[in-house]
Amino acid sequence: MEKYDVIVIGSGPAGNSAAYGFKEQGRKVAIIESDLWGGTCPNRGCDPKKMLMSGVEAQKRIETMVGKGFEQTPKIIWEDLMSFKRSYTDSVPQNTKDGIDAAEIDRYTGQASFIDAHQIIVNDKILASDQFLIATGQRPSVLPIDGQDLLQSSTDFLALEHLPEKIAFIGAGYIAFELAVIASAAGSEVHIIHHNDRPLKEFDQELVTALVEHMKSEGVHFHFNVNTKAIELNHPQYRITGEDFELITDRVFGATGRIPNMEALNLEKAGVTYDKKGIKVDDHLRTTQKNIFACGDVVAKSQPKLTPVASFEAGYVVKAMADSAEAIKYPLIPTIVFGDQRLARLGISERELTAHPEKYHSQTMDLSSWYTYQRINDQGAKIKFVYDEEDKIAAITCLSQLADEVINYLLIALTKKMTHEEIEKFIFAYPSPASDLSYFI
């Protein structure tokens, strides 16, 4: 039986980063992966999605300039765009393994299962450790309806060799929106089906509505207040039905959330408590078993389950597991829906704002006439500030082609509690989102 100081379960951005951190502390480390080395994000999540989105951004950038120096919008060749994506993703598993091996971290491929709080079994091999870090992430959930086996996931979409003529997404979260933008721009007829009339519920409704209208103008079809009941194979197509609703499509993708990967771990044998939202941890990311920690998307938490958050937790937990860290304190966390029009958000949650409307007031600014946006013909650019009773910024939502850049600059300004006078002491490159900061703060 092999004995370690720390065993990491999961090789995604959180687990992989933590394993390197433990090794740098001089500890004997092993890492276990049951699926693709590198985890979801670089293999079949945010990274490949953004590779495809880069083609959309290039296309839409020219589309906004048709009649202003360009004659027509370029066509996306799906197969070539997928080849571009694979130029990155194909090498991720091997590169991850090579890096782990070079760091002299022991590596095991297989499903880990706890025997007790200090032992696990993987591929009939028993491993013992003083401490464990669980970083197994999440996977797409499957809508429990008739014909659920016909549903495909975001993983399947990101592996499409050829783009179907007609696609339906069930769900209206950020994954559905981003994949819908990609498919529509590449020439597919796209439908989004949602059980209520509030898509992207974690974002400001006013700017979500503006984004929906923009996507409608680009040809995306929305079907709100539709409870999908069943999917039937109507070879070679699929029939989606709900109450007073029917749609025939070439592919159906479920985008109704994600669930934590933990069932096969036998957490009960290790004394680790969990629920459907994930593994329960304290403010040091310690589970109910004091020598077992967890971080990343497998954790039950109120913070967004995003790759940067998982990486932040990994950096923290390396110190916490060495008993050299205070309770974790999360900084401001931006969330973004990517597309040709990006929706970015920062600050107090929409749930909090909705629960206590009397505490807050807001201002929405049309940015389309500002030179930063006028020069790229971003006619839908908007930003909304929500203020508390002391007129301090409580939340920000931005909708524009440059929203991700804007929200990151504002993140720094708010974190540092910069005043208007302090920002004006800087000379930023012009024109750029940074050069507009003094108009916001």
Over the chain (441 residues), the average pLDDT of each successive run of 10 is: 96 97 97 96 95 96 93 96 97 97 97 97 96 97 95 96 97 97 98 97 96 97 97 94 95 96 96 97 97 98 95 97 92 96 96 94 96 95 96 96 97 94 95 94 91
Structure letter (DSSP) for residue 352: H
**Calpha distance 347→56 (Å, rounded):** 28
Burial class (CB within 10 angstroms; exposed 0-12, middle 13-18, buried 19+) of 111: middle
The encoded tokens of residue 440 equal: 């916001």
Known binding site for NAD(+): residues?
171-178, 257
Burial class (CB within 10 angstroms; exposed 0-12, middle 13-18, buried 19+) of 158: buried
pLDDT at 159: 95
CB contact burial 299-313 (16+ within 10 A = b; e otherwise): bbbeebbbbebbbbb
Known binding site: residues?
50, 171-178, 257, 297
pLDDT at 219: 96
Q: Do 417 and 338 contact (CB within 8 A), yes or no? A: no
β-bridge partners, 170 = 193, 254
Known binding site for FAD: residues?
50, 297
pLDDT at 324: 79
pLDDT at 304: 93
pTM of the model: 0.95
Q: Do 239 and 138 contact (CB within 8 A), yes or no? A: no
